[in-house]
Protein backbone atom coordinates (compact mmCIF):
# COMPACT_ATOMS: atom_id res chain seq x y z
CA UNK A 1 0.00 0.00 0.00
CA UNK A 2 1.81 3.09 -1.32
CA UNK A 3 1.38 6.24 0.74
CA UNK A 4 3.69 8.81 -0.80
CA UNK A 5 5.45 9.44 -4.09
CA UNK A 6 8.75 8.27 -2.56
CA UNK A 7 7.28 4.76 -2.45
CA UNK A 8 6.29 4.54 -6.13
CA UNK A 9 7.83 1.32 -7.43
CA UNK A 10 10.63 1.40 -9.98
CA UNK A 11 11.05 5.19 -9.91
CA UNK A 12 14.54 6.47 -9.19
CA UNK A 13 15.30 9.16 -6.62
CA UNK A 14 16.43 11.42 -9.47
CA UNK A 15 13.01 11.19 -11.10
CA UNK A 16 11.26 11.69 -7.77
CA UNK A 17 13.30 14.86 -7.23
CA UNK A 18 12.29 16.09 -10.70
CA UNK A 19 8.64 15.43 -9.90
CA UNK A 20 8.84 17.37 -6.66
CA UNK A 21 10.69 20.25 -8.30
CA UNK A 22 7.97 20.40 -10.95
CA UNK A 23 5.37 20.69 -8.19
CA UNK A 24 4.10 17.11 -8.22
CA UNK A 25 4.75 16.25 -4.60
CA UNK A 26 1.63 14.23 -3.85
CA UNK A 27 0.09 11.08 -5.28
CA UNK A 28 -3.10 13.07 -5.92
CA UNK A 29 -1.33 15.62 -8.10
CA UNK A 30 0.23 12.81 -10.15
CA UNK A 31 -3.00 10.84 -10.42
CA UNK A 32 -4.82 13.72 -12.10
CA UNK A 33 -1.90 14.91 -14.29
CA UNK A 34 -1.83 14.35 -18.04
CA UNK A 35 1.15 12.29 -19.27
CA UNK A 36 2.16 15.04 -21.71
CA UNK A 37 2.12 17.81 -19.09
CA UNK A 38 4.00 15.69 -16.59
CA UNK A 39 6.60 14.66 -19.15
CA UNK A 40 7.29 18.27 -20.15
CA UNK A 41 7.15 19.77 -16.64
CA UNK A 42 9.42 17.19 -15.02
CA UNK A 43 11.64 16.58 -18.04
CA UNK A 44 11.04 12.84 -18.10
CA UNK A 45 10.16 10.51 -21.00
CA UNK A 46 6.48 10.22 -21.88
CA UNK A 47 6.50 6.49 -21.12
CA UNK A 48 7.85 7.14 -17.62
CA UNK A 49 5.19 9.79 -17.06
CA UNK A 50 2.48 7.32 -18.13
CA UNK A 51 3.84 4.66 -15.81
CA UNK A 52 4.01 7.07 -12.84
CA UNK A 53 0.45 8.26 -13.40
CA UNK A 54 -0.83 4.71 -13.54
CA UNK A 55 1.00 3.78 -10.34
CA UNK A 56 -0.35 6.88 -8.57
CA UNK A 57 -3.92 6.03 -9.65
CA UNK A 58 -3.54 2.44 -8.49
CA UNK A 59 -2.13 3.61 -5.17
CA UNK A 60 -5.11 5.90 -4.62
CA UNK A 61 -7.51 3.25 -5.88
CA UNK A 62 -8.91 5.62 -8.48
CA UNK A 63 -11.03 3.49 -10.79
CA UNK A 64 -14.63 2.55 -11.45
CA UNK A 65 -16.10 0.48 -8.66
CA UNK A 66 -19.44 -1.20 -8.40
CA UNK A 67 -21.92 0.16 -5.87
CA UNK A 68 -21.48 -3.10 -3.99
CA UNK A 69 -17.73 -2.53 -3.69
CA UNK A 70 -18.39 0.99 -2.42
CA UNK A 71 -20.82 -0.43 0.13
CA UNK A 72 -18.34 -3.06 1.31
CA UNK A 73 -15.65 -0.41 1.76
CA UNK A 74 -17.97 1.80 3.77
CA UNK A 75 -19.02 -1.14 5.95
CA UNK A 76 -15.47 -1.39 7.26
CA UNK A 77 -15.57 2.18 8.56
CA UNK A 78 -15.44 2.14 12.35
CA UNK A 79 -17.07 4.46 14.85
CA UNK A 80 -16.22 6.19 18.11
CA UNK A 81 -18.98 7.09 20.53
CA UNK A 82 -19.32 10.73 21.56
CA UNK A 83 -20.67 9.80 24.99
CA UNK A 84 -24.19 10.92 24.04
CA UNK A 85 -26.56 8.45 22.41
CA UNK A 86 -28.49 11.30 20.87
CA UNK A 87 -25.37 12.79 19.29
CA UNK A 88 -24.20 9.33 18.16
CA UNK A 89 -27.61 8.83 16.58
CA UNK A 90 -27.31 12.09 14.70
CA UNK A 91 -23.92 10.98 13.37
CA UNK A 92 -25.18 7.55 12.32
CA UNK A 93 -23.48 5.78 15.23
CA UNK A 94 -20.57 8.03 16.18
CA UNK A 95 -17.47 9.66 14.71
CA UNK A 96 -16.25 7.67 11.70
CA UNK A 97 -12.77 6.56 10.78
CA UNK A 98 -11.56 7.53 7.29
CA UNK A 99 -13.68 10.65 7.62
CA UNK A 100 -13.07 14.21 8.74
CA UNK A 101 -15.74 15.48 11.11
CA UNK A 102 -15.99 19.19 11.82
CA UNK A 103 -17.67 20.66 14.88
CA UNK A 104 -18.39 24.33 14.46
CA UNK A 105 -20.19 26.81 16.64
CA UNK A 106 -19.89 29.76 18.93
CA UNK A 107 -17.59 30.08 21.96
CA UNK A 108 -18.66 27.70 24.73
CA UNK A 109 -20.81 25.54 22.48
CA UNK A 110 -18.89 22.39 23.46
CA UNK A 111 -16.35 21.88 20.68
CA UNK A 112 -13.37 21.45 22.99
CA UNK A 113 -15.30 19.27 25.45
CA UNK A 114 -16.25 16.93 22.60
CA UNK A 115 -12.59 16.76 21.52
CA UNK A 116 -11.50 15.84 25.06
CA UNK A 117 -14.24 13.23 25.30
CA UNK A 118 -13.40 11.63 21.96
CA UNK A 119 -9.72 11.36 22.84
CA UNK A 120 -10.77 9.36 25.91
CA UNK A 121 -13.54 7.38 24.18
CA UNK A 122 -11.30 6.21 21.32
CA UNK A 123 -9.47 4.19 23.99
CA UNK A 124 -12.54 2.20 24.99
CA UNK A 125 -12.87 -1.35 23.67
CA UNK A 126 -15.13 -1.74 20.62
CA UNK A 127 -17.99 -3.18 22.68
CA UNK A 128 -18.07 0.08 24.64
CA UNK A 129 -17.95 2.32 21.59
CA UNK A 130 -14.20 2.82 21.17
CA UNK A 131 -11.42 1.45 19.00
CA UNK A 132 -8.93 0.46 21.73
CA UNK A 133 -6.84 3.21 20.17
CA UNK A 134 -4.81 6.31 20.92
CA UNK A 135 -5.39 9.96 20.07
CA UNK A 136 -3.30 12.84 18.73
CA UNK A 137 -4.43 16.19 20.08
CA UNK A 138 -3.28 19.32 18.23
CA UNK A 139 -4.21 22.33 20.32
CA UNK A 140 -4.04 25.75 18.68
CA UNK A 141 -5.86 27.77 21.33
CA UNK A 142 -4.26 26.43 24.51
CA UNK A 143 -7.58 25.14 25.82
CA UNK A 144 -6.53 21.53 26.41
CA UNK A 145 -6.95 20.56 30.09
CA UNK A 146 -5.53 17.31 31.41
CA UNK A 147 -7.86 17.64 34.39
CA UNK A 148 -10.81 17.13 32.04
CA UNK A 149 -9.17 14.01 30.60
CA UNK A 150 -8.70 12.65 34.13
CA UNK A 151 -12.34 13.31 35.02
CA UNK A 152 -13.65 11.78 31.84
CA UNK A 153 -11.42 8.72 32.08
CA UNK A 154 -12.34 8.19 35.71
CA UNK A 155 -16.04 8.44 34.89
CA UNK A 156 -15.61 5.64 32.35
CA UNK A 157 -13.70 3.43 34.77
CA UNK A 158 -10.45 3.68 32.80
CA UNK A 159 -7.02 3.68 34.41
CA UNK A 160 -6.37 7.41 34.56
CA UNK A 161 -2.60 7.46 33.96
CA UNK A 162 -2.99 4.93 31.19
CA UNK A 163 -5.69 7.05 29.55
CA UNK A 164 -3.45 10.13 29.77
CA UNK A 165 -0.51 8.21 28.26
CA UNK A 166 -2.61 7.31 25.25
CA UNK A 167 -3.04 10.93 24.17
CA UNK A 168 -0.21 12.60 22.25
CA UNK A 169 -0.58 16.31 22.86
CA UNK A 170 1.03 19.20 21.01
CA UNK A 171 0.45 22.93 21.06
CA UNK A 172 0.63 24.51 17.58
CA UNK A 173 1.95 28.06 17.83
CA UNK A 174 1.12 29.38 14.36
CA UNK A 175 -0.11 28.23 10.95
CA UNK A 176 3.32 27.15 9.72
CA UNK A 177 3.80 25.09 12.86
CA UNK A 178 0.31 23.63 12.57
CA UNK A 179 0.98 22.63 8.96
CA UNK A 180 4.40 21.19 9.85
CA UNK A 181 2.89 19.08 12.62
CA UNK A 182 0.45 17.51 10.18
CA UNK A 183 3.28 17.03 7.66
CA UNK A 184 5.13 15.01 10.29
CA UNK A 185 2.09 13.06 11.44
CA UNK A 186 2.42 10.54 8.64
CA UNK A 187 5.57 9.23 10.28
CA UNK A 188 3.99 9.05 13.72
CA UNK A 189 0.82 7.26 12.59
CA UNK A 190 2.70 4.78 10.44
CA UNK A 191 4.98 3.97 13.40
CA UNK A 192 2.10 3.71 15.85
CA UNK A 193 -0.90 2.07 14.17
CA UNK A 194 -2.87 2.27 17.41
CA UNK A 195 -3.46 5.98 16.71
CA UNK A 196 -7.10 6.05 15.65
CA UNK A 197 -8.04 9.67 16.22
CA UNK A 198 -6.49 13.01 15.22
CA UNK A 199 -7.93 16.21 16.67
CA UNK A 200 -7.20 19.76 15.58
CA UNK A 201 -8.83 22.20 18.02
CA UNK A 202 -9.31 24.64 16.40
CA UNK A 203 -8.26 24.26 12.83
CA UNK A 204 -9.04 27.84 11.83
CA UNK A 205 -7.94 30.17 14.64
CA UNK A 206 -4.31 30.68 13.56
CA UNK A 207 -5.37 31.02 9.94
CA UNK A 208 -7.90 33.70 10.85
CA UNK A 209 -5.37 35.59 12.96
CA UNK A 210 -2.55 35.47 10.41
CA UNK A 211 -4.63 36.09 7.31
CA UNK A 212 -7.28 38.55 8.42
CA UNK A 213 -9.81 40.26 6.25
CA UNK A 214 -11.07 39.83 2.74
CA UNK A 215 -7.79 40.85 1.14
CA UNK A 216 -6.12 37.73 2.56
CA UNK A 217 -9.03 35.41 1.93
CA UNK A 218 -7.61 33.74 -1.17
CA UNK A 219 -4.24 32.88 0.38
CA UNK A 220 -5.84 31.78 3.61
CA UNK A 221 -8.29 29.51 1.82
CA UNK A 222 -5.57 28.00 -0.31
CA UNK A 223 -3.35 27.19 2.66
CA UNK A 224 -6.21 25.94 4.77
CA UNK A 225 -7.53 23.77 1.95
CA UNK A 226 -4.18 22.10 1.52
CA UNK A 227 -3.92 21.50 5.26
CA UNK A 228 -7.40 19.99 5.37
CA UNK A 229 -6.76 17.76 2.38
CA UNK A 230 -3.66 16.46 4.08
CA UNK A 231 -5.70 15.61 7.17
CA UNK A 232 -8.36 13.92 5.03
CA UNK A 233 -5.68 11.86 3.36
CA UNK A 234 -4.29 10.68 6.72
CA UNK A 235 -7.83 9.67 7.69
CA UNK A 236 -8.32 7.67 4.52
CA UNK A 237 -4.94 6.00 4.27
CA UNK A 238 -4.55 5.04 7.92
CA UNK A 239 -8.21 4.37 8.80
CA UNK A 240 -8.20 7.20 11.34
CA UNK A 241 -10.99 9.48 12.53
CA UNK A 242 -10.07 13.15 12.06
CA UNK A 243 -11.95 15.74 14.10
CA UNK A 244 -11.54 19.47 13.54
CA UNK A 245 -13.23 22.40 15.22
CA UNK A 246 -14.03 25.83 13.92
CA UNK A 247 -15.24 28.74 16.00
CA UNK A 248 -17.84 30.91 14.35
CA UNK A 249 -19.72 33.98 15.50
CA UNK A 250 -22.97 33.46 17.29
CA UNK A 251 -25.72 34.56 14.95
CA UNK A 252 -28.96 33.89 16.80
CA UNK A 253 -30.89 34.91 13.72
CA UNK A 254 -29.37 32.28 11.49
CA UNK A 255 -29.05 28.84 13.06
CA UNK A 256 -30.35 27.45 9.81
CA UNK A 257 -27.91 29.26 7.60
CA UNK A 258 -24.30 28.21 7.53
CA UNK A 259 -22.28 30.98 9.20
CA UNK A 260 -19.02 29.74 7.71
CA UNK A 261 -20.24 30.75 4.27
CA UNK A 262 -18.43 33.97 3.46
CA UNK A 263 -20.12 36.96 1.94
CA UNK A 264 -20.52 36.18 -1.73
CA UNK A 265 -21.53 32.59 -1.14
CA UNK A 266 -18.17 30.85 -1.01
CA UNK A 267 -17.63 28.47 1.87
CA UNK A 268 -14.42 28.88 3.81
CA UNK A 269 -13.09 25.67 2.35
CA UNK A 270 -14.11 22.70 0.29
CA UNK A 271 -13.28 19.30 1.67
CA UNK A 272 -15.38 16.22 2.02
CA UNK A 273 -16.54 15.28 5.50
CA UNK A 274 -19.28 15.66 8.03
CA UNK A 275 -20.05 19.06 9.49
CA UNK A 276 -21.85 19.42 12.78
CA UNK A 277 -23.12 22.75 13.99
CA UNK A 278 -23.29 23.26 17.76
CA UNK A 279 -25.35 25.79 19.61
CA UNK A 280 -25.81 26.72 23.25
CA UNK A 281 -29.12 25.95 24.83
CA UNK A 282 -30.34 26.26 28.40
CA UNK A 283 -27.75 25.56 31.12
CA UNK A 284 -25.47 22.67 30.24
CA UNK A 285 -27.64 21.68 27.26
CA UNK A 286 -26.28 21.97 23.74
CA UNK A 287 -27.93 21.50 20.36
CA UNK A 288 -26.26 19.75 17.45
CA UNK A 289 -27.32 19.53 13.86
CA UNK A 290 -25.68 18.17 10.74
CA UNK A 291 -24.96 20.48 7.85
CA UNK A 292 -24.99 19.20 4.28
CA UNK A 293 -24.56 15.44 4.72
CA UNK A 294 -26.68 13.90 1.98
CA UNK A 295 -26.73 10.43 3.53
CA UNK A 296 -27.76 11.41 7.05
CA UNK A 297 -31.29 12.41 8.02
CA UNK A 298 -31.91 16.05 8.85
CA UNK A 299 -32.72 17.12 12.34
CA UNK A 300 -31.17 18.26 15.55
CA UNK A 301 -30.48 16.65 18.88
CA UNK A 302 -29.83 17.85 22.40
CA UNK A 303 -26.92 16.66 24.53
CA UNK A 304 -25.32 17.79 27.79
CA UNK A 305 -21.87 18.93 28.95
CA UNK A 306 -21.34 17.54 32.45
CA UNK A 307 -18.50 17.15 34.93
CA UNK A 308 -18.15 13.55 33.63
CA UNK A 309 -18.09 14.77 30.05
CA UNK A 310 -20.44 14.60 27.07
CA UNK A 311 -23.71 12.89 28.02
CA UNK A 312 -27.37 12.76 27.06
Binder among 83, 94, 110, 129 for ligand ADP (CB under 6 A): 110
* Count of residues in the chain: 312
Binder among 17, 107, 192, 251 for ligand ADP (CB under 6 A): 107
Local structure of residue 185 (DSSP, 8 states) = H
Q: What is the DSSP string of 263-277?
A: TTS-BS----SEEEE
Q: Which is nearer to ligand ADP, 16 or 288 (CB)?
A: 288
Half-sphere exposure of residue 4: CA atoms within 13 angstroms, side-chain side? 12
Please tell me whether residue 277 binds ligand ADP under the rule CB under 6 A.
no
Instruction: Measure CA 174 to chain center.
Output: 18
225 interface partner picked from Mg ion, ligand ADP, none, CB below 5 to 8 A per type: none
Q: Which is nearer to ligand ADP, 4 or 284 (CB)?
A: 284
Residue 194 pairs in a beta bridge with none
Contacts to Mg ion from residues 178-197, by CB under 5 A: none
Interatomic CA distance for residues 232 and 175, integer angstroms? 18
110 interface partner picked from ligand ADP, Mg ion, none, CB below 5 to 8 A per type: ligand ADP
Binder among 39, 82, 101, 112 for ligand ADP (CB under 6 A): 112
Smallest distance from the beta carbon of 52 to Mg ion, in angstroms? 43
Please tell me whether residue 203 binds ligand ADP under the rule CB under 6 A.
no
Give the count of beta carbons closer than 10 Å to the beta carbon of residue 42: 23
Please tell me whether residue 288 binds ligand ADP under the rule CB under 6 A.
no
Contacts to Mg ion from residues 128-157, by CB under 5 A: 143
Q: Which is nearer to Mg ion, 112 or 166 (CB)?
A: 112
Contacts to Mg ion from residues 93-122, by CB under 5 A: 111-112
138-173 per-residue burial string, b: 16 or more CB within 10 A, e: under 16: bbbeeebeeebbbbbbebbebeeeebbebbbebebe
Smallest distance from the beta carbon of 80 to ligand ADP, in angstroms? 17
Binder among 48, 97, 99, 113 for ligand ADP (CB under 6 A): 113
Please tell me whether residue 111 binds ligand ADP under the rule CB under 6 A.
yes
Q: What does each C-alpha distance from 95 to 102, 175, 256, 307 come to in angstroms?
A: 10, 26, 23, 22
Binder among 89, 92, 93, 108 for ligand ADP (CB under 6 A): 108
The stretch among 38-46, 80-88, 251-259, 303-311 that binds ligand ADP (CB under 6 A) is 303-311
Torsion of CA 293, 32, 197, 148, to 10 degrees: -70
The stretch among 108-116, 124-132, 206-214, 294-302 that binds ligand ADP (CB under 6 A) is 108-116
Q: By the 8 A CB rule, do 258 and 116 touch?
A: no
Nearest to 231 by CA among 269, 260, 205, 261: 269
Q: By the 8 A CB rule, do 188 and 169 touch?
A: no
Residues at the site binding ligand ADP, with contacts judged by CB under 6 A: 105, 107-113, 284, 305-307
Residues at the site binding Mg ion, with contacts judged by CB under 5 A: 111-112, 143
Amino acid sequence: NIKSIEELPGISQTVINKLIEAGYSSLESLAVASPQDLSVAAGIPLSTAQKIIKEARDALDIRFKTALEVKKERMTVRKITTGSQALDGLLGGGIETRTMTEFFGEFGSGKTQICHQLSVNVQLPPEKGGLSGKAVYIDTEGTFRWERIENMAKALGLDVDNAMSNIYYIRAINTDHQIAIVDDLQELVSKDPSIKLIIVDSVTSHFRAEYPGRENLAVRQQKLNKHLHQLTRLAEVYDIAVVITNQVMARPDMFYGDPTVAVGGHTLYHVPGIRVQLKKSRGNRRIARIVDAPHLPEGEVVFALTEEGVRD
